[in-house]
Amino acid sequence: MDSCVAAATAVAEGWEPAFLHFTYGQRTQERELKAFYDIADFYGVVRRLVIELPHLAEIGGSALTDVSCPVPEGRLNRDEIPVTYVPFRNANFLAAATSWAEVLGARRIYIGAVEEDGSGYPDCREVFLRAFDEVIALGTRPDSSIRIQAPLIHSTKAEIVLRGVELEAPLHLTWSCYRNSVRACGCCDSCLLRWRGFVQAGVPDPIPYETIPLGKEER
């Protein structure tokens, strides 16, 4: 959903988008890939690239990719870094995105990173993204002018939902669940974050759920 609203923002700001998706052994990667193509079709995007980063799963260390490491039932607002953290994931994404951007001649990389809502991932913070901008400026050709745009970085999930509605983003085509691929489980961290966002925004979530997560965020 965050990627979708970030893309909607890029379109609204007048950029011609190229869409980049990563499969990295995440449990629901087929479902996420379908969402990627659905949203690319929605926006009529011609330049699409799917990059496989299987080493992120091979390296392991995360419940998102390591099937021996169970996805915890959601308990939001914890202080520690959650076990769904894939070490340095966004740096791997941004490095590949920058390589592609340099070849395309693209000038902006939009990413749906969100610092708020307590996800607790160090590579989702604005200070990290600004440091990566510096790496891009120093590590690419002098005539490239690629910068990272993170339009949702300080948004809550409710604000992202509202922004998506305002921009007429295809939220019904997005997918957030870490577990299932037909109906969202309604139990994992990602489902809880998403659901709470829609509830707080006062907007119905258009995707199907296995169980309605109401009240689970209090556990």
- Of the ranges 30-38, 138-146, 151-159, 206-214, which one interacts with a second copy (CB under 8 A)? 138-146
86 contacts a second copy (rule: CB under 8 A): yes
Find the binder of a second copy among 11, 51, 167, 199 (CB under 8 A). Answer: 51
Find the binder of a second copy among 136, 150, 191, 201 (CB under 8 A). Answer: 136
Find the binder of a second copy among 26, 84, 92, 190 (CB under 8 A). Answer: 92
46 contacts a second copy (rule: CB under 8 A): no
The 3 state secondary structure assigned to the chain is CHHHHHHHHHHHCCCCCCEEEEECCCCCHHHHHHHHHHHHHHHCCCCEEEEECCHHHHHCCCCCCCCCCCCCECCCCCCCCCCCCCCCHHHHHHHHHHHHHHHHCCCEEECCCCCCCCCCCHHHCHHHHHHHHHHHHHHCCCCCCCEEECCCCCCCHHHHHHHHHHCCCCHHHCCCCCCCCCCECCCEHHHHHHHHHHHHHCCCCCCCECCCCCCHHHC
173 contacts a second copy (rule: CB under 8 A): no
63 contacts a second copy (rule: CB under 8 A): no
Binding site for a second copy (CB under 8 A): 49, 51-56, 58-61, 81, 85-92, 94-96, 98-100, 102-103, 122-123, 125, 127-128, 131-132, 134-136, 138-142
